[in-house]
Amino acid sequence: MSVLEGSCLCGGVRFEVSGEFEPRSYCHCTSCKRLSGGAATANGRARSDSIRITAGRELLRTYQPDEGSAKTFCSVCGSNLFGAGWPESEFASVRLPAIDTPFEGGPTRHIFTRSVAAWETLPDDGLLCEED
C-alpha cells in the first residue's frame, strides 16, 4: 500500500493518504466550479481514516453548505483539499491537484455533466460521462 503526500498552495497544510483512489472522477457540479475556480474538480475517493494531516491542522476550515457534503480547505490560501464530508464520513473526496507524490491513474469519468456551464466545453477524452 503506497502513501501519497499532499499539500495546499501555501504549504501550510500537509497530509498523507494511504491506500487507493477509487473511483477517480472529474466533478462538474456547480459547487465544484465555485469552490475551485475551474470547470471541474479532480477527485479520488479514499477512506477518511486513511487521511492523516501531518501539518497545519489548525489552518483547515470546513464549510457545510445547506445542500451537499462538507468541503474542507486551507484558510490561508483557499486550496480545496477534501470533500464528501471529511472527516466524519466513511469516504472522502481528495482533490487530486493537492497530491504531490506522482501516482498512476487519472480520473476515469466525468460526473455531474448535467451541470456543465454555458461557457464550458466537456473534453472529448473518451471518458465515461455521468449526468450526476
In the bound state with Zn ion, the residue whose beta carbon lies nearer, of 29 and 53, is 29
Site for Zn ion in 1-20 (CB under 5 A): 8, 10, 12
Site for Zn ion in 35-74 (CB under 5 A): 74
In the bound state with Zn ion, the residue whose beta carbon lies nearer, of 2 and 54, is 54
> How many residues contact Zn ion, by CB under 5 A?
9
Q: Are 92 and 86 in contact (CB under 8 A)?
A: yes
**CA angle, residues 111, 84, 117, in degrees to nearest 5:** 35
Q: Which of 67, 69, 40, 45 is nearest to 129 (CA)?
A: 40
Residue 84 binds Zn ion, judged by CB under 5 A: no
- How far is Cα 34 from Cα 54, in angstroms, rounded to an integer? 27
Residue 77 binds Zn ion, judged by CB under 5 A: yes
Half-sphere exposure for 114 (CA within 13 Å, toward CB) = 3
- Residues of this chain that interact with Zn ion (CB under 5 A) are 8, 10, 12, 27, 29, 32, 74, 76-77
